[in-house]
């Protein structure tokens, strides 16, 4: 074949993608058994049968259509995660921890940085909802956080990270800021410093509005 020439140029049809039916035929099972075997957490297929189906899928090079599966099962096996800035050294360890835990359950993480831009953040949240993520981890909340209303209206499970809103009913995971300030002040005092100041940010963040 000449450089730049495709199979279509030679009049040959491209090889069709491997389907569930192909895997089922190779493994000698029903297509629905293939779907259950390749879906984590179903627990309705014997381990021997799962191994047989997985082997057939690998042999044929089968790749599941995740979009079709998400529509059929109403879940995408993915979690959306928004952070303010990936270059902030506080967030990579958090992201790594989330990925390590979810990977063990066959769940992928869709990660995006908002750059603290409200418009970009709203677009990203809307995109996550459209993608049918199974849940959201938001490290970008402010005291008044409009995107959260859309998430709750879509009935998507959500957990806030590091930052909270004025709505304390939403689950939140964050560090002990008060203990952190105490440790920092004690350290500075041990170094002989006596005039210690604390510079907070804007009043839109619950972290910046805390009294220490």
**Mind listing the pLDDT tens digit for each residue in 182-192?**
899 999 999 99
**Mind listing the pLDDT tens digit for each residue in 130-173?**
888 999 999 988 878 888 889 999 999 999 998 878 777 888 88
The conformation of residue 75, written as its DSSP 8-state character, comes to -
- HSE-CB for 152 with a 13 A CA cutoff: 11
Write 116-119 long-range contacts (CB < 8 A, 24+). Answer: 116/84, 116/85, 116/140, 118/146
| Phi, psi (deg, nearest 5) at residue 113 | -100, 135
Contact in structure between 20 and 31 (CB atoms under 8 Å):
yes
The model's confidence at residue 4, banded by pLDDT at 50, 70 and 90, is: very low
More confident residue, 140 or 97: 97
**Mind listing the pLDDT tens digit for each residue in 57-91?**
988 888 776 655 655 556 678 999 999 998 999 89
pTM over 0.75: no
The model's confidence at residue 11, banded by pLDDT at 50, 70 and 90, is: very low
- Give the Cα separation of 23 and 143 in Å (integer): 51
Contact in structure between 110 and 128 (CB atoms under 8 Å):
yes
* Of 156, 114, 108, residue with least CA distance to 132: 156
Query: Rounded to the nearest 10 degrees, what angle do helices 20-27 and 47-60 cross at?
Result: 120
Contact in structure between 137 and 162 (CB atoms under 8 Å):
no
């Amino acid at each position: 074949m000449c450089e730049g020439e495709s199979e279509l140029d030679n009049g040959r049809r491209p090889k069709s993608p491997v389907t569930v039916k192909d895997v089922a035929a190779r493994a000698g099972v029903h297509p629905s058994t293939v779907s259950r075997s390749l879906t984590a957490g179903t627990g309705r297929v014997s381990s021997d049968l799962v191994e047989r189906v997985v082997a057939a899928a690998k042999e044929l090079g089968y790749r599941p259509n995740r979009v079709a599966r998400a529509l059929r099962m109403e879940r995408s096996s993915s979690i959306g995660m928004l952070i303010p800035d990936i270059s902030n050294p506080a967030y990579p360890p958090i992201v790594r921890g989330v990925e390590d835990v979810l990977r063990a359950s066959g769940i992928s993480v869709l990660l995006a940085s908002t750059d603290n831009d409200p418009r970009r953040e709203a677009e990203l949240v809307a995109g996550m909802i459209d993608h049918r993520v199974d849940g959201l981890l938001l490290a970008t909340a402010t005291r008044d956080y409009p995107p959260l209303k859309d998430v709750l209206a879509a009935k998507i499970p959500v957990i806030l990270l590091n930052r909270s809103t004025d709505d304390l009913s939403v689950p939140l995971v964050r560090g002990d800021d008060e203990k952190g300030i105490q440790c920092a002040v004690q350290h500075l005092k041990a170094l002989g410093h006596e005039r210690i100041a604390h510079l907070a940010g804007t009043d839109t963040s619950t972290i910046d509005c805390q009294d220490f």
